[in-house]
Amino acid sequence: MHEWLAARVKASPDALALMIGTSQWRYAELDLFVNGVCAHLQKAGVTQGQFVGVLMPNTLVYTCLVHALARLGGVLVPLNTRLTPAELGWQIKHTSCDLVLVTEDLAAKLSVTACKWLVVNEAWLETSMPYTLPQTSFAMHHLQAVVFTSGTSGQPKGAMLTFANHFYSALASAYKLGVQPHDLWLSCLPLYHVGGMAVLWRSCLYGTAVDLHPKFDLEAINHSLDTKPITLISLVPTMLTRLLDTRQSWPESLRLVLLGGGAAAPDLVTRAQAAGVPVATTYGLTEAASQVATMLPEEVWRKPGSVGKALLFTDIKIVDDHGRRLPPHQHGEIIVSGPTVMAGYFSRDRSLEIGGGNQSHATGDIGYLDDEGDLWLVQRRSDLIVSGGENVYPAEVEAVLKQHPAVADACVVGLPDPAWGQVVTAMIALKAGQGEAPTPNANVTPDDLTQFCRERLAGYKIPRHIYLVSQLPQTASGKIARRQVAEAMQQIPA
C-alpha cells in the first residue's frame, strides 16, 4: 500500500482537497507542494523514524507537513501553540525531537529549549531541489504521530497513533456518517488536536475536501457557511453555542454537525435541533484517534444527551472497580478497544514497530450503556476539566501553583459555565505567615498567582477564579475533598 496522499492523487487528482479562505487546491496540486516540503525536510536531515515537532497554526504548509512526514517516514509530534515555552520544552525533550518546525511568530516560544529548530514558511511548498523517496516503505503499523494529552500526574502523555488507527477511524466514521464525493468538511479544530488531524486523514482517504480555518473565528466560520457548500463541520459545544447565537439560518448543504470535545449538554443539542441543525453527538479520545461512539441526528432527536453506539470494529464496555463488566444502566469506567486504539503512551524506547490493533484503553471516564447499547457519559474522568474543547488536568495546574513559594496546597476544579462548558478554578491554601497566626499570607493576591501561572501554563489552563483559604477541606482519610471544594467555589460570587 502506498502512503495515502500518493494513493489519493492517483485515484482522483482533480478532486478538491483543501480550501483556506478564498484559496483552494486539488489533490494533484497538494501533492506537488508535499514534494516540495519533502525536499526541504530531507535537506534538514529528516529521515525515516525521526521525530519532528511542529509548532504552527492550521495552514496549507502544516497540512503539507503532515503528508510529507508520512511520505518520508518521519513521526509528527504536533505541539499545542497555546502552551508556554516551559510546557513546550518538556514535550520536546520528552520525545527527544530530532527537529522542531515552527512559524516565525512562534519561534520565540522555543528560545528556552535546547533543540534543533527551523522556521518554516510558504517557500517550503515550492522547490527545484530533488528529493529521494526513502527505500523503506509505508506500513499501516508505523507511527504517524505522537499527540500529547494532558497527564493526570501533572505531566502530559504522548498518545502514539499509527496509520492503522487513522485508517480504521476514517473507515468507521465514513460508514457511520456516510461520505459523499462532494463532501466539504469545515475544520476549525487545531491540527495539533486529534479532532483536527482526523479530518485531514479522513478527507485524504475519502478524496473529499477540507475547508481549513486557522482557528475558531466566528465571522470567518459564518462566512464559510454562507458562501461555501459546507456539508460537515466539527465543533465543540462552545463553538456551537456561539454559532447558534449569531446565525438565523443554516445552509441546506450542511448535512451534519459533529459535536465533540466535552459532554454534549442535552439543552444545547435540543436548542440546535430546534434551529434545524443536524447535530451528531460524539465521544472521542486522543487515545482512539478521535471518534469512539457517535449518534446520528435522527437518533439524537430521540435521545438527547447520549453519544450513541460504538463505531464499527470498536468495542465499548463498562466495568466496575474490579474490571468486571457491568450490565446496562449501571455506571462504571468506559473501556474502549478496537483497531483505532493507540499503540500506547510514548516512552523513551521510541519503538516504531507496533503490534497489531485491538488494543484496549481504560479511559477513566464514567458512563453507562442503555438497553439499546447507546453510551451515556456521566462524567469525564473525575480529574478532567474540559473548557472550550481543551482538556485541562487539575494535577498539572496544581503542580504549578504549588511551585509558588507562598502556596501550601492547591485544589483545581472545573465549574459549569454556559459559554465554555467548564471553567478552571482554584482554591488555594497559603503558607502561614512567619511567626504569625495561620492566616493567608497578606502579601500574596490571586492576581499574583495568576501572573505566576501565566509564565508557566497555557492560557486556557490558568484558573479564571482563585479563592484563598487558610486550609483546604479534607476527607476523613486526609485527602483533599474535591467535591466539597467544587461546591464551595460554586457558592462564591464571581
Q: How far is the CB of 274 from its own copies (least distance, A)?
A: 23
Query: What is the C-alpha to C-alpha distance for residues 36 and 39, in angstroms, rounded to an integer?
Result: 5
Q: Which three cell numbers stand for residue 460?
A: 486556557
Q: Is the Cβ of residue 296 or residue 362 nearer to its own copies in the bound state?
A: 296
Q: Is 2 in the site for its own copies (CB under 8 A)?
A: yes
- With CB under 8 A as the contact rule, which of the stretches 147-155, 192-200, 202-210, 440-448 interacts with its own copies? 202-210
The correct pick among 8, 71, 166, 361 for binding its own copies (CB under 8 A) is 8
Say what angle helices 4-11 and 60-72 make with each other, to 10 degrees.
Answer: 110
Say what angle helices 394-403 and 446-454 make with each other, to 10 degrees.
Answer: 110
Q: How far is the CB of 144 from its own copies (least distance, A)?
A: 17
The correct pick among 32, 115, 296, 352 for binding its own copies (CB under 8 A) is 296
Q: Is 5 in the site for its own copies (CB under 8 A)?
A: no
Q: How far is the CB of 186 from its own copies (least distance, A)?
A: 19
Residues paired with residue 390 on neighbouring β-strands, in sequence order: 387
Q: Do 441 and 448 form a contact (C-beta atoms < 8 A)?
A: no
Interface map 321-340 toward its own copies (x if CB under 8 A): ------------------x-
Q: Is 178 in the site for its own copies (CB under 8 A)?
A: yes
Q: Is the Cβ of residue 206 or residue 283 nearer to its own copies in the bound state?
A: 206
Q: Do 250 and 225 form a contact (C-beta atoms < 8 A)?
A: yes
- CA 379, 382, 386, 391 dihedral sign is negative
As a dihedral over the C-alpha atoms of residue 447, residue 419, residue 417, residue 493, rounded to 10 degrees, the angle is: 50
| DSSP-derived secondary structure for 114-138 | -S-EEE--GGGG---------SSPP
The correct pick among 78, 89, 357, 394 for binding its own copies (CB under 8 A) is 357
The correct pick among 181, 435, 478, 493 for binding its own copies (CB under 8 A) is 181
Q: Is the Cβ of residue 268 or residue 293 nearer to its own copies in the bound state?
A: 293
Q: Do 319 and 132 form a contact (C-beta atoms < 8 A)?
A: no
Q: Is the Cβ of residue 36 or residue 207 nearer to its own copies in the bound state?
A: 207
Q: How far is the CB of 311 from its own copies (least distance, A)?
A: 7
The correct pick among 83, 177, 194, 277 for binding its own copies (CB under 8 A) is 177
- With CB under 8 A as the contact rule, which of the stretches 203-211, 242-250, 393-401, 431-439 interacts with its own copies? 203-211
> Which residue reads 463553538 in cell numbers?
239
By rule CB under 8 A, what count of residues binds its own copies?
Answer: 34
Query: Is residue 243 left, alpha or beta, with left meaning phi > 0 and alpha meaning psi from -120 to 50?
Result: alpha
- CA 158, 162, 166, 172 dihedral sign is negative
The correct pick among 171, 354, 392, 426 for binding its own copies (CB under 8 A) is 171
- With CB under 8 A as the contact rule, which of the stretches 3-11, 237-245, 261-269, 423-431 interacts with its own copies? 3-11
Q: Is 174 in the site for its own copies (CB under 8 A)?
A: yes
57 secondary structure, DSSP code: -
- ∠ Cα 348 138 57 (to 5°): 65
290 secondary structure, DSSP code: E
Q: Is 444 in the site for its own copies (CB under 8 A)?
A: no
Collapse the DSSP code of 271 into the 3-class scheme (helix H, G, I; strand E, B; otherwise coil) and give the result. helix
| Binding residues for its own copies (CB under 8 A) | 1-2, 7-8, 10-14, 171-172, 174-181, 205-207, 296, 309-313, 315, 339, 357-358, 372-373
